[in-house]
Each structure stands twice: as C-alpha cells, then as structure tokens.
Amino acid sequence: MSFSSYLDNIAKPFTKFAPWLLRFSLGISFFLHGIGKFPVDRFAGYLGSKDVFLPEFTAILVALGEVGAGIAVIAGGFLGTTGHLVTRLGGGAVVVIMIGAFAIAHPDWFITKDLFMSEQIFLFILGAYFAIKGNN
C-alpha cells in the first residue's frame, strides 16, 4: 500500500465533512463581520469618509448583506434542492460584498502581495467557490 493510499483510507470517513469546514468558516465569519457592523453609525461614518454614496443606507445594506450571506451559506447546506440555490446566492453575495470592500477599503491592493496576504482574499475565494458549486 502506498503512503497516498494510506492517507486516503484515513481521510475517507471525513470527506463528506470537508465542504462543511469551508461552509461553516465562511458563514460564521461573514455573519460575525455583519453583526459587528451594528449599530451602523461608525461604519456609516467610515463609508462617508470614503465618499460612498448614501453611507448610512449603504452601511445598513452591507451589514444585513453580510449577516444574510453568512446565514445563507450555512443554511443552504441543510435545505436540499432549494439549498443549492440558497448557497449559490449566499456565495454570490459574498463575492459582491468583497469586491465592494476591495474597491472602497483597499483599492491599492489590486493584484499585489497585500491582497494575497490578507484574509479578505480567502473570503472572496470561498464566496466564489460556493457561488459556482452551490451544494455540488
């Protein structure tokens, strides 16, 4: 038996849980990021300092979007056929929110080492993963 086969045998009982590691880490992280923006006054002030249009409204949308996307990514895994769509929409919301975060908070990061040394790139990539794969 090769070492690779040996590792396959060890990992086999856990493979069905692997997507859940990604799902829970993204969902919980996004949920907590969103909850952390309430009350939105401080976040709206930050957005206003970046000349974002309607900063109070945008802050509410982002905070609710982050909470909702986090819940959708996790809940989608439990909802059967409908869950596939819920997961994809949640992942898509993560992608859109992260593009906004990059554009507003880190416009100087575009394809630089700073981007690839940040946790934000992983949130973006996990969102894209779930937007593309859904529950498949």
State CA 91 to chain mean position distance: 6
For the beta carbon of residue 87, count every other beta carbon within 10 angstroms.
27
Give the 3-state secondary structure of residue 115.
helix
Alpha helices by DSSP H, listed for 1-119, are: 3-11, 18-35, 41-49, 55-75, 80-105, 113-116
pLDDT of residue 1: 78
Q: How far apart (Å, rounded) are the C-alpha atoms in residues 87 and 45?
A: 31
pLDDT tens-place string over residues 44-75 = 999 999 999 999 999 999 999 999 999 999 99
Please name which of 119, 87, 93, 125 lies closest in space to residue 106, comparing C-alpha atoms: 119
Q: How far apart (Å, rounded) are the C-alpha atoms in residues 111 and 69?
A: 25
pLDDT tens-place string over residues 125-135 = 999 999 999 99
Kindly compute the dihedral angle of the four CA atoms of residues 56, 100, 72, 26, in this order, to the nearest 10 degrees. Answer: -120
Whether the predicted pLDDT of 117 surpasses 90: no
